[in-house]
Structure 1
């Protein structure tokens, strides 16, 4: 069943959120990461909560609407994104700290774009500091009875996910 709820007196549906997320991700990657060849492949064919050799950035939403914004990206693509964002070659990345910082910052930018949806409807929404999880194998599960929007993106053979969990809007 498609997501639909009232935000600031206006109905916001899943298609609106997906369109905003797609536009935000493509804009962030184009202007900040200098990558223009992303394709969105919404809807996601099956739920994903288990990641292998990946990095996940997460930013919490609080205030009039609570939830979580996430970016889940394979390590190899995360390294390419970081190198491009920093104007460096892959061989110039010295440690995983730069990669974690870049993924956290991209997630923060995406959360800021999503926050604008709610702020534009008169809601007060605050963002948490980004958190980053990386590993060879891990699971991310948001304990929530709220709604979720997951938008997959592809760059060549690589795929990453952006997520929005909402509770109490």
Structure 2
């Protein structure tokens, strides 16, 4: 897996969480994910098409998303509800925009789009069938844990 193609997802996630919610984020060491378990309470799912074909999940624990959205809205959020689901969709959309720009900067043409929000720990996160591996990048934030999963197939390597 080419790190240059994973970095835009890391950078986009860091940028959006820092600028929209003023949440300080520190990425942890990446790892190879070997199952389809949902490693959060709520996730935004993105798809990438073009020179790079990928699926991406941005997963939040309940604690982290409530803290992040509380910081974004300026009011305390206490449960995962429609507002939180909408906020995860909006965060995912903003990350998609950042990633599209950053991948374009390295000479690839892609369209990154938000697909859906998945809630509940008993759900699976199914990634693109053409990707061979899923890289997980854990983030430690001032609000709790976030996990970024990236699975891609480079169409023009």
Aligned to 1:130, the other structure's residue is in SS state strand
Distance 2:138 2:58 in 1: 10
Distance 2:46 2:84 in 1: 16
The answer to whether the aligner puts 1:104 opposite 2:92 as a matched pair is: no
For the 8 Å contact 1:100–1:132, the answer to whether it is kept is: yes
Structure 1, residues 2-36: CA drift from partner, whole Å, max 9, x if none?
Answer: x1xxxxxxxxx32x344433332222111101112
The answer to whether the aligner puts 1:49 opposite 2:62 as a matched pair is: no
Unaligned runs of 5+ in 2: none
Cα 1:79/1:21, change in 2 over 3 Å: same
User: How far did 1:136 drift?
Assistant: 4.0
2:129 alignment partner, one of 140, 144, 151:
144
Aligned to 1:128, the other structure's residue is in SS state strand
The structure with the greater share of residues assigned to strand is 1
Q: Normalised by the size of structure 1, how large is the TM-score?
A: 0.75
Structure 1, residues 49-80: CA drift from partner, whole Å, max 9, x if none?
Answer: 32366001011112332221220111221111
User: How far did 1:121 drift?
Assistant: 4.0
For the 8 Å contact 2:39–2:147, the answer to whether it is kept is: no
Match in the other structure for 2:146: 160
Match in the other structure for 1:21: 9
After superposition, the CA RMSD in angstroms is 2.6
Aligned pairs, number: 154
Unaligned runs of 5+ in 1: 4-12
Report the structure number with the largest CA radius of gyration. 1
For the 8 Å contact 1:52–1:135, the answer to whether it is kept is: no
Q: Normalised by the size of structure 2, how large is the TM-score?
A: 0.80
Match in the other structure for 1:63: 50
Aligned to 1:138, the other structure's residue is in SS state coil
